[in-house]
Structure 1
Amino acid sequence: MATLEDDEADIDPVKMILLDEEGEEKKLTTLDNGAAKPQMQKHYIRSIESTVAIRQLPSEGLSFQLWPAATTLVTLLDGYLSHLSESPLATTLTALSNGGDNGRKLKILELGSGTGLVGIAAAVTLGANVTVTDMPHVIPNLKFNVEANADVVARRGGTVDVAPLRWGEDDDMEVIGREFDLVLASDVVYHDHLYEPLIQTLRFLLNAGARGGEKKVFIMAHLRRWKKDSAFFKKARKLFDVEILHTDPPKEGSRIGVVVYAFVGKN
């Protein structure tokens, strides 16, 4: 059966889709010099009846903007907590939550966090201890967003730490360590020169078993934009068992939607 990775057509590789609360494409306002203004966007988490606020800095680059796959993961996390989701993702999260010691919180690592929306949402919906990571130049905005949501995170019993992580860099990976139950990411398969560093990082993180030898899981939400994305998945499937957990219906005007994958290290 054909998969998204097998499709040879390019999916508009440069279009940025910024969505508001109603799912409509968001128009950017600009400063006099043409740069996009900083934006504070609020995301209502229905299951906890609270809001997460995220600052975007569009003029700073892709890492400072919200991508569609992040919204998908937040929606799934929200649905899991409110028992509205019976998806394989919900099953995975339930197994992780029930598999630890009594009273032990989930430890979650997010790769390529960007604005930090997914990691912050994981902390508030799962009451987890989350570490959000990205390149060093992204860290200040990540810290801003973590601090902006500190109260709601604390009320839900979670924590969010911020750390730099350059994929494939041994020093950074050793500092981060492997003591995580779950690894998350959204829209990180974009630049092909980062495919191999990302895979190296995943090998480091998933090779060590969690909680008495259980296999760790990497959950990645991805919206395909390039036909060359298939090269990443071909490499990944040699090292990990990869399955689709969830697929969004395509937005109007698009042929595909966000797909959520689970990666587990092979024996």
Structure 2
Amino acid sequence: MSSRTRLSFTTTLTKANDKLTIQISDPSALSADNLALATWGSSEVLANILHRFTPDFSSTGFPESHTDNVIPVLELGAGTGLVGLSAACVWGVGVVLTDLPPLVGALGANIAMNAQVLGRCGGAAGVGMLDWYSPERMSISNAGSDSSSVSSFSGYESSRARVILAADTVYSEEHPELLVNVVVSRLEKGKEARLIVCYPLRVGYLDHIRDLWARLEGAGLVCGEEGREQIDGSWDEDTPYEWCVWGWGSGE
């Protein structure tokens, strides 16, 4: 599993190949779930394909209205926050980046470090603590947004999300079940809802990925798009990465 602790990442902002730079603080002293905090290859891949998708956020009412109480984007297992921060900038929406308690401080620092680029792109970001064993409970704080959006996540702790993002979150046999349980608990029920997942196609992970697909389909989700990407040569690996976009079946 390749990772990076470098301090900046270039993310594709538009289909015209415009770029932006996301700054990441040095996370090397932190760890959670027995892994050092770093930016994984799947995160850079997913961050750089978000511009291909155009989710409909028009009815979320964020941040002006809490009428529907829908979080535009929720990132699961955010790590250093590269994917969620990129989503906030690419789509110009509010994103809640969630992970385990030991990582919340670093996520907040990375949100604050990117406050200016978030502001320029019309995005906002908050950080949440979300334990996959208890997905119904989430606490959210705000960091790194301009003054107009600092309080915008207040009241969204029990909300579902229009889009859920997850990069490199399936690397043990328990993860498929846990991830699907969180998605079922937190993904908005509706035709516009989307789950976008990215993971490396390593031999040791293939059974977990098959299990994930089976559980997502069993939960009523349907894969509408999928593809594979090769990470750039600076990562010193040739493992392909797969991404897939899921939505609720016609019964939802």
TM tier, smaller: 0.7 to 0.9
**Distance 1:148-1:102 versus aligned 2 partners, 3 A rule:** closer
Is structure 2 residue 212 aligned with structure 1 residue 232? yes
**Distance 1:57-1:181 versus aligned 2 partners, 3 A rule:** same
Deviations for 1:102-147, whole angstroms, at most 9, x for unmatched residues? 9979811111100001111111111111110001111011011001
Larger Rg: 1
Q: What percentage of aligned pairs have identical amino acids? A: 21
The answer as to whether partners of 1:128 and 1:158 remain within 8 angstroms in 2 is yes
Find the counterpart in structure 1 of residue 177 from structure 2: 196
**Distance 1:136-1:50 versus aligned 2 partners, 3 A rule:** same
Is structure 2 residue 244 aligned with structure 1 residue 261? yes
Supply the RMSD in Å over aligned alpha carbons: 2.9
Greater share of strand: 2
Greater share of helix: 1
Find the counterpart in structure 1 of residue 150 from structure 2: none
The answer as to whether partners of 2:25 and 2:110 remain within 8 angstroms in 1 is yes
Runs of 4+ with >4 A deviation: 44-49, 101-106, 250-256
Specify every segment of 5 or more residues in structure 1 that has no aligned partner in the other structure, as ranges.
1-14, 19-37
The answer as to whether partners of 1:111 and 1:132 remain within 8 angstroms in 2 is yes
Is structure 2 residue 10 aligned with structure 1 residue 43? yes
CA distance in 2 between partners of 1:189 and 1:218 (Å): 14
Find the counterpart in structure 2 of residue 57 from structure 1: 27
The answer as to whether partners of 1:56 and 1:66 remain within 8 angstroms in 2 is no
CA distance in 1 between partners of 2:157 and 2:120 (Å): 26
Question: Normalising by the residue count of structure 1, what TM-score does the alignment of the two structures yield?
Answer: 0.70
Alpha-carbon shift at residue 45 of structure 1 (Å): 4.7
The answer as to whether partners of 2:56 and 2:192 remain within 8 angstroms in 1 is no
CA distance in 1 between partners of 2:107 and 2:62 (Å): 28
Query: What is the aligned length?
Result: 216
Is structure 2 residue 226 aligned with structure 1 residue 245? yes
CA distance in 1 between partners of 2:10 and 2:181 (Å): 33
Question: Normalising by the residue count of structure 2, what TM-score does the alignment of the two structures yield?
Answer: 0.74
Q: Which amino acid aligns with 1:55?
A: S
Is structure 2 residue 109 aligned with structure 1 residue 144? yes
Find the counterpart in structure 2 of residue 127 from structure 1: 92
Find the counterpart in structure 2 of residue 16 from structure 1: 2
Q: Which amino acid aligns with 2:214?
A: K
CA distance in 1 between partners of 2:211 and 2:26 (Å): 30
